[in-house]
Amino acid sequence: MQLARFDIDLFLRDHWQKSPLLIRNAWTRWRNPLEPDELAGLACEEGVESRLIVRDGDALTLENGPLPDSRFGELGSGPWALLVQAVDHHAPDVAALIEPFRFVPDWRIDDVMVSYATDGGGVGPHYDQYDVFLVQGLGRRRWRVGPKCDAATPLLPHEDLRLIADFEATGDWVLEPGDILYVPPGYAHDGVAVGSDCMTYSIGFRAPSRAELVEGWAEHQADAMAEDERYADPDLTVQPHPGEISASAIDRLHAMALDALADRDAFARWFGLHNSLPKYAETDWRPEQPIGQETVRALLRQSVPLSRNPASRFAFIRGQDGALTLFADGRGFDCAGDSAALAEALCAGSSLGVDPALAGSAPVLTLIAALIDQGSLAFEED
């Protein structure tokens, strides 16, 4: 499925991280990629993050999965909503929904959450810290969008849900299958199913917080520092008051901390490793035995395609002279020449046919074998 009647440049200029946008019937041809029963089945599986939200009057209760098979038969005809995270890891047709939105860099993509709701079901008015495209897949859902919120926005008292206390809508639409609503970070929104069998696909985008970056980068650097890297003051002189921490001491201490974090190239490598860590590592593709370069060579000569683990995260950072560093599932691989070209191709799509001529390239064999052994990649025959 591809987007049509959608001006990407105009959207990025006027709406991305700026204002909500309703996009009616944006697809060349819309087809719902998942059946409600398939979603319910995923919610019952171990290792799949799911939530069931049941409405009773004005009260909402939350149950975390995995859910027992019998739970859905107990729900009756009242309003409820089922939310399942990372469905793209389990359903290729759902994963295909990401492709039209790759005008946003892959490192920003989180996952596809799928929700099913009965008439009147929803999660209540809330706001998120990430961009999201809400694609109506089946049935109809009424979306109300409100103003931008922040940490000072009053919330209702609730043990499990962060619901806005005084939600006032500034936009109100009913979405039909194939319609899309884009909501930037921080904007209040509330979606309620209109009728039965309502399914919505939420393509979410992540954005690291300043606190996450500072904590992670500082911890990474601190782990690599020697114990004898300490404050020194060989030019110490007597100061007027022994209880004072002098300005010169503060300057030195501050410089020690900042200098340790100032290496941009080291930060770039750390971020590539950190950002590529899988969110859900339960989809384990690691082989029982290392594949070995001879097996890789033989399969490449047979033109067997490669597939990426849908739970894996791939990205790269360019270096100099055509070299680059490939990041996959928290590991970094320095690539040049044929292996750099392969790394770019691996980051371009979920499946790849490799030129059999590359079976003679030792760096290519090394890279493919390492990615297969860590479970990021597999030959499609496996």
Does residue 165 share a domain with residue 139?
Answer: yes
Query: Closest Cα to residue 287, out of 206, 368, 345, 173?
Result: 368
In sequence order, which residues have a C-beta less than 8 Å from that of residue 74 and are 6 or more positions away?
A: none
**Strand, coil or helix: 191:** strand
| Number of domain units in the chain | 3
pLDDT digits (tens, 9 = 90+) for 251-265: 999 999 999 999 999
Does residue 51 share a domain with residue 188?
Answer: yes
Q: CATH number, domain at 317?
A: 3.40.366.30
DSSP 250: H
Does residue 249 share a domain with residue 182?
Answer: no
Q: What's the domain range around 142?
A: 8-205
- The pLDDT score that the predictor gives to residue 361 is 97
Does residue 65 share a domain with residue 201?
Answer: yes
- The answer to whether 315 and 274 are in contact (CB under 8 A) is no
Does residue 347 share a domain with residue 307?
Answer: yes
Does residue 105 share a domain with residue 143?
Answer: yes
User: pLDDT truncated to tens, each residue of the chain (382 aa)?
Assistant: 788 888 999 999 999 999 999 999 999 899 999 999 999 999 999 999 999 999 988 889 999 999 999 999 999 889 999 999 999 999 999 999 999 999 999 999 999 999 999 999 999 999 999 999 999 999 999 999 999 999 999 999 988 899 999 999 999 999 999 999 999 999 999 999 999 999 999 999 999 999 999 999 999 999 999 999 999 999 999 999 999 999 999 999 999 999 999 999 999 999 999 999 998 877 789 999 999 999 999 999 999 999 999 999 999 999 999 999 999 999 999 999 999 999 999 999 999 999 999 999 999 999 999 999 999 999 997 5
How far, in Å, CA of 45 to CA of 47, rounded? 6
Does residue 156 share a domain with residue 121?
Answer: yes
Tokens of 11: 């959207």
Q: CATH number, domain at 182?
A: 2.60.120.650
Does residue 307 share a domain with residue 345?
Answer: yes
Does residue 297 share a domain with residue 258?
Answer: no
Q: Is residue 216 part of a domain?
A: yes
Question: Mean pLDDT across the chain, nearest whole number?
Answer: 95
Q: Is residue 282 part of a domain?
A: no
Does residue 335 share a domain with residue 367?
Answer: yes
DSSP sequence for 288-327: SS---HHHHHHHHHTT--EEE-TT--EEEEE-STT-EEEE
Query: Closest Cα to residue 6, out of 124, 198, 180, 212?
Result: 180
Q: In which element (H, E) is residue 111 found?
A: strand 109-117
Does residue 190 share a domain with residue 71?
Answer: yes
